Every structure is written in structure tokens, then in C-alpha cells.
Amino acid sequence: MDLTSPLSQLTFSFSSLPFILAEAAAESETESGPLVLAGVLVSLVVVYLAAKIGGELCARVNLPSVLGELVGGVVVGISALHLLVFPENIGQGTNSLIIEFLERTAGLAPESVVSVFAAQSEVINILAELGVVILLFEIGLESDLKELIRVGPQAAAVAVVGVAVPFALGTAGLIGLFGVPTIPAVFAGAALTATSIGITAKVLAELQRLNSREGQIIIGAAVLDDVLGIIILAVVASLAKTGEIEIMNVVTLIASAAIFLVGSIFLGRLLSPYFVGLVNQLKTRGQLLIASLIFTFVLAYIGAIIHLEAILGAFAAGLILAETEKREELEEQIVPIADMLVPIFFVTVGARTDLSVLNPAIPENREGLIIATFLIAVAFIGKVVAGLAVFGQPNINRLAIGVGMVPRGEVGLVFVGVGSATGVLSKPLEAAVIVMVILTTFIAPALLRLVFKDDSSTTAESVDTAQIEAGSNSVVSSDMATSEEVEIAQEQG
């Protein structure tokens, strides 16, 4: 298992899909391919209904729609309706209501249930990963590379503090307050360093704050945070597996991250005029969109094979193409693709969330909930403190920057998955980390809207004050002009 590629922990590999489909066909007397397709179609109906209903409800109470998509995923997922479930959650396809629906309506044979369920789940997983790749490409496309470079030092400071503070506080607290052994404490502390760039970026885009100074610092810090998180994950996974840290592995990851991000952006900017020239020569339909997706998927592939994230490559591709004259046209064309794929990602994150770990009636959860209270406090404090690390930026909303770094999302679940697979985390500690991930993921988007709303109110008050002062000056000027006109009239009379 590749422990240095986080999103791959949540899914099977792309290469496994044909074998799963082949196994399904071999085990079933009837051809299972159409039934796999049928399962995917029903799953997508569930995903889109959950995303749209949840998003619309949240929009009507002035909350980010992405929060509604996450909640909608919880409702249809393992915690409630069992409509959208995955093999790693339950182990058996018979617990999926979609599979039961296929058995009753499409004649799915009992002996083919598990294989069809696995294949259908794999397709949804792949679509979800494509969704987050498209999301990060769209975010990169909407970002300003020059602004990102300008706020680079501030973003780096936020990322470093946002990793170091929660890691140190979490690890020390678990060892000192709860008596957790060193290696499990280090692993849980590492889970506190994560930041879900996808969730925060979506909220910033909805708030139209993506290109603000705060938004650019958050995005830049989240990208660096993701890289640092990958490195930390590799370190703690190696520590859990062998009891020692492989220095060369860490050095290789750091060098790969630096070369990839800087090199791809530098070369991309040099080659972008040739890209635009090539697109202008194409005559078939979708020439810009298809060429851009090819470029994006190539960079995402490179990011994945050097043990970084595919989403980092997609983000870099968006930054590069944003510097071309095709930016606005491409932004318009990518929106329908994002609308189709991105909700799958957020709904599946919610669907995988097991809220049963929040139930204090279960004895095994009580110790975990106590530890979770501590982890949640550290999770918020550590990232909010990171926002205070911004320097050289007067009148900036540091609280918004800190809150924007809070969501752990799918990245936090990756740490849980790796920790569970290696056997490092005890059941209470694993439950505590899951609770921390759940609450930071669901609360942070709403808090982000609130802190930016306060910032907007302050800005609006300043603008109103300026307008009032300007209006008073104009009235005074008007009165002076009127008195002068009267004097002139009297003289003429």
C-alpha cells in the first residue's frame, strides 16, 4: 500500500477496475456489466439529489452550499439511509439499499452482489477523485499567480505555523494528559496538521473572496500545508511501520514537491504561448476545453506518480492557464464540468462519515469523546494561531485566514485510514480523530462565512462613513456656492 499518496487510501487503484468488472462477470450467470452501470446511475441520482437538496437548504439559511452537500452525503451515507455506502465502511454489499434495489428491480443474482457492489463503488470513487481534480483546476484558474507569489512568504508562514502548532500541542497533550504511547500520539498529532483545500476553496469561491488577500493567503497556505501533510504522513507511517524514520524518503518528498510545483509553473508559463497557438489552430468542437483537460491530467498524473497529490498538479495547471488570454473563455467552459463532478466528491466525503462514533451510549466511544474534545480545541486553536502569523499585511482579516485553514475533511480521514490500516491507533483514539475531522469539516465553512461577514460589515461601515463625509463636504460646498451667488446677484441688483 502506498502510504505517501493520501487520496489513494480512500479508493482502489484505477487499474483494479477492469479486474473487479471481470470478476463480477465471471461469478455471475448473467452479464454484470449493465448491472454495474445501473448501480452507478442510481448512485449518481442519489448523489445529485443529496447535493442539490442539501445545498439549496443551506443557501436559504445563508450557509455555504458545500456544507449542505456534506450534510446531504451524511444523510444518504453510512450514518443514516445506507443509500451511498462503500466496501471499506461495511464490508458487505448486502447492506447497501442501492444493491437491494438492483436485486428487486434489475434481477441482480445473489452470488453477484459483492462483486457488482465493489465495481459500482469503485466507479463512484473514481468520479469523486476526478471531481476534486477538476475543483482544484478551477480554483487555480480563478486564482491570481502574481498575487499568490506576492503573498507567498505570508502563506508559507501560515502553513508552517499551522502544521507545527497543532502537531506539537496535540502530541504533547495526548502523551501528558491522557498517557497515550508516543507513536500513536505522534500519529494523532500528525492528523491535526491536515487542511482540506477543496472544502475551503469552494467556500471562498462561493463568498467571492477567492481573489482577496485573505483568500490568496489561505489557498497558498493550504497548498503548502497539503505538501507538508504528505511529508508528515510518510514520516509517521514509516515510524509506525518500522519504528524509525527513513531520512532519504523525507528528503526525496521535499525535493519532489519543490521541483514539481516551481518547475511546472515556470515551464508552463514559458510554453503557454505555444499552447494558445495550438488551440487557435484547432477547428473541432471543444478545442480549448479538451486541450486544457489534457494538460491538466498530465500534470495531475505527474503529481501522483512522484508520490505527491494529483490535485496539486491540477492546481498548478489552473494557475498556468490563468495567465493566458484564454482564461475567461476557459472559466466559462469548465463550470458545467465542475457542476457535474465536484458534488460527487463532497457527497462521498459526507457519506463516508460515520456519526456513530459520536454516540456516548456506546461505552467504547466515551473515552474517545473525551480525547476528541481536546483534539477539537487544539485543531481550532492551532489553525487560528496560524492566521496570526501573517506579517506585513495591515488591515487584513487574520481570523478569517485561521478559520479558513481549520477544515480537515478528506485529508484528515486519510490519516485515520492509514493509522487504522497499520494498527497504530487504538479504538478510542481512532474515534477521537474521526470526531475531530467531522466537526472541523462541518463547522468551519459556517464560521468562515461569519468571519468574512463581520469583515464585510466593517468595510461597509468605513465606506458609509467616507460617503457621509464626502456628502457633508459636498453640502458645505453647495451652501458656499449658493451664498456666493446671492452676493453676486445683490451686487448686480
Q: What is the DSSP string of 402-461?
A: HHHT---HHHHHHHHHHHHHHT-S-HHHHHHHHHHHHHHHHHHHHHHHHHHHHHHHHHHH
How confident is the prediction for the chain on average, in pLDDT? Answer: 79
- The pLDDT of residue 472 is 43
**Domain identity same for 221 and 325:** yes
**Domain identity same for 186 and 315:** yes
**Domain identity same for 202 and 95:** no
- The pLDDT of residue 132 is 84
Query: For residue 147, with 0-12 CB atoms within 10 Å meaning exposed, 13-18 middle and 19 or more buried, which class applies?
Result: middle
DSSP assignment, residue 83? S
Q: Which value, in Å, is the radius of gyration of the alpha carbons in the chain? A: 26
Domain endpoint, select from 81, 107, 124: 124
What are the pLDDT digits (tens) for 282-298? 989 999 999 999 999 99
Q: Across residues 124-140, what is the average pLDDT? A: 88
**Domain identity same for 280 and 158:** yes
- The pLDDT of residue 10 is 41
373 domain-assigned: yes
Cβ contact 434:419 at 8 Å: no
DSSP H helical segments within 94-196, as ranges? Answer: 97-105, 113-142, 145-150, 152-178, 182-191
**Domain identity same for 145 and 119:** no
463 domain-assigned: no
**Domain identity same for 117 and 166:** no
Residues of the domain holding 222: 131-340+363-445
- Whether residue 340 is predicted with pLDDT greater than 60 in this model: the reply is yes
More confident residue, 292 or 136: 292
Residue 426 has phi, psi (to 5 degrees) of -70, 165
**Domain identity same for 217 and 148:** yes
351 domain-assigned: no
- The pLDDT of residue 443 is 85
Domain endpoint, select from 70, 99, 124: 124
- The pLDDT of residue 1 is 35
**Domain identity same for 113 and 169:** no
454 domain-assigned: no
More confident residue, 143 or 134: 134
**Domain identity same for 107 and 212:** no
Q: Indicate the SS3 state at residue 29.
A: coil
- How many distinct structural domains can be found in the chain? 2
81 domain-assigned: yes
- The pLDDT of residue 420 is 66
451 domain-assigned: no
DSSP assignment, residue 84? S
Q: How far apart are CA 220 and CA 229, in angstroms?
A: 14
What are the pLDDT digits (tens) for 223-281? 788 777 767 776 777 676 666 666 777 777 778 777 887 888 888 888 888 999 999 99
Contacts of 254 (CB under 8 A, 6+ apart): 231
SS (H, E, C) 207-222: CCCCCCHHHHHHHHHH
- Whether residue 418 is predicted with pLDDT greater than 90 in this model: the reply is no
Closest CA to 217 of 476, 398, 462, 26: 398
**Domain identity same for 239 and 332:** yes
Contacts of 121 (CB under 8 A, 6+ apart): 85, 86, 87
Percent of the chain clearing pLDDT 90 (strictly above): 21
CATH no. for residue 217?
1.20.1530.20
- The pLDDT of residue 412 is 75
- Whether residue 416 is predicted with pLDDT greater than 80 in this model: the reply is no
- Considering only 102-111, 179-188, 464-473, which range has the smallest mean pLDDT? 464-473
**Domain identity same for 15 and 83:** yes
**Domain identity same for 329 and 301:** yes
Domain endpoint, select from 90, 124, 158: 124
What are the pLDDT digits (tens) for 72-104? 988 998 888 889 988 876 554 457 888 888 888
211 domain-assigned: yes
331 domain-assigned: yes
